[in-house]
Amino acid sequence: MPEAVVKVKEGVVPTKDTRIVLAGVVSVPPIAIGAWQWGDKHVWNWTPEAEKDANEAFDKAFELGIPFYDTAEVYGDGESEREISRFRQKYTQEQKEQQIIATKYFPHKHRTNFPDVLLSALKDSLARLGTMNVDLYQIHAAIHPVEIEVVANALADAHEAGLVKTVGVSNYSKEEVQRMYDALKKRGVPLASNQVCFSLIRTLPEKSGLIKLCHDLGVAILAYSPIGMGILTGKFGSKGPWPEGRKETFDSLDTDQLERLLSVLKALSEKYQRPQSAIALNWCIVKGTIPLGGARTAQHVEQNRMALNFRLNDSEVAELDKHAFEGTTSEWKHG
């Protein structure tokens, strides 16, 4: 099996050309673009007029050399995948091949008929995306109504059928990752990634040893909500008011601690002459993860891209760690 590259090496300044190689097969830049925002009405107040902004965000990521997009069948009930297909229409085949598309299977409780149910959901995703295969196919969370080994076999079938280049999971705990890794290995398929909630407001995946375990197994960590759903930009301050869809997350944070964390981020943003979001994303990279910054606009992408070409030093990382939040697990977030 080809060797996976799971992270930017210690001491290396990440650039758009620094490569991480998922399962030794799919070569990706050190940051990605999250596409939950493209079509989601519940948290991100999507309206059809926002499609223009999303299209510009998609194009900007391509132009800036970070064309790695993370979507899911449930984002906007398939709308995020459909938009990605529309955005790609103007690109040549060669350009399309440079665009890395990751999507996810949603393990609804009623979806019990494996492997058929997964293969048919995957084919629906491919149809919406307008593509013959995807670079990375992930299980959205470990809430499936069947054993991990059953899901692993379905993923391996999808891989064997050439519908996915690599397979991954999301929100999996250490034990769940190990089981998925072992089950896939029996079928000769490497587990490429585990996508988990990881940021300065949720460091649990590092504290629990999940990141280390994954790296030891050759599994990359994709960090979702790496800007803390926007709070680490500093734009909401430490007391709010918060946007409706994000209240629950932000209300759980201790105001004084958040204030201290934001002030360290602000000082670093002044030192490096970059937005606070870029500092928060660089911290994720230094911790060995690939941050998926959610981007509604081209400006968000430009600012995320500023997470590259510098590297926080050890004492800066330690200062951020001192004020960071550990966070908790939940029914959804096992990892």
Residues labelled as active-site residues: 75
Which region among 5-13, 31-39, 125-133, 207-215 touches ligand NAP (by CB under 6 A)?
Answer: 31-39
CB nearer ligand NAP, residue 23 or residue 306: 306
Selected from 35, 139, 219, 220, the binder of ligand NAP by CB under 6 A is 35
Selected from 168, 293, 327, 335, the binder of ligand NAP by CB under 6 A is 293
CB nearer ligand NAP, residue 160 or residue 251: 251
Burial 182-221, CB ≥16 within 10 A → b, else e: ebbeeeebbbbbbbbbbbbbbbbbbebebbebbbebbbbb
CB nearer ligand NAP, residue 185 or residue 299: 299
- Residue 335 near residue 198, CB atoms below 8 Å: no
Residues between 205 and 234 with contacts to ligand NAP, criterion CB under 6 A = 224-230, 233
For the CB of residue 2, give the shortest distance to ligand NAP in the complex, in Å.
26
Q: Which residues contact 286 (CB under 8 A, 6 or more apart)?
A: 311, 312, 317
For the CB of residue 279, give the shortest distance to ligand NAP in the complex, in Å.
11
**Closest C-alpha to 1, from 189, 181, 148, 156:** 189
CB nearer ligand NAP, residue 227 or residue 265: 227
For the CB of residue 188, give the shortest distance to ligand NAP in the complex, in Å.
26
For the CB of residue 56, give the shortest distance to ligand NAP in the complex, in Å.
14
CB nearer ligand NAP, residue 186 or residue 235: 235
Residues between 62 and 91 with contacts to ligand NAP, criterion CB under 6 A = 70
In Å, what is the CA distance from 323 to each residue of 49, 259, 290, 320?
A: 39, 9, 22, 6
Selected from 20, 23, 26, 36, the binder of ligand NAP by CB under 6 A is 36
Selected from 131, 153, 171, 194, the binder of ligand NAP by CB under 6 A is 171
For the CB of residue 163, give the shortest distance to ligand NAP in the complex, in Å.
20
Q: Which residues contact 34 (CB under 8 A, 6 or more apart)?
A: 70, 224, 292, 293, 294, 295
For the CB of residue 228, give the shortest distance to ligand NAP in the complex, in Å.
5
In Å, what is the CA distance from 123 to each residue of 90, 128, 174, 267?
A: 23, 9, 29, 48
Selected from 107, 168, 218, 294, the binder of ligand NAP by CB under 6 A is 294
Residues between 246 and 275 with contacts to ligand NAP, criterion CB under 6 A = 275
Q: Judged by CB under 6 A, does residue 235 bind ligand NAP?
A: yes
CB nearer ligand NAP, residue 181 or residue 242: 242
CB nearer ligand NAP, residue 38 or residue 181: 38
For the CB of residue 330, give the shortest distance to ligand NAP in the complex, in Å.
11
Residues that bind ligand NAP (CB under 6 A): 34-37, 70, 140, 170-171, 195, 224-230, 233, 235, 275, 277, 292-294, 296, 300, 303
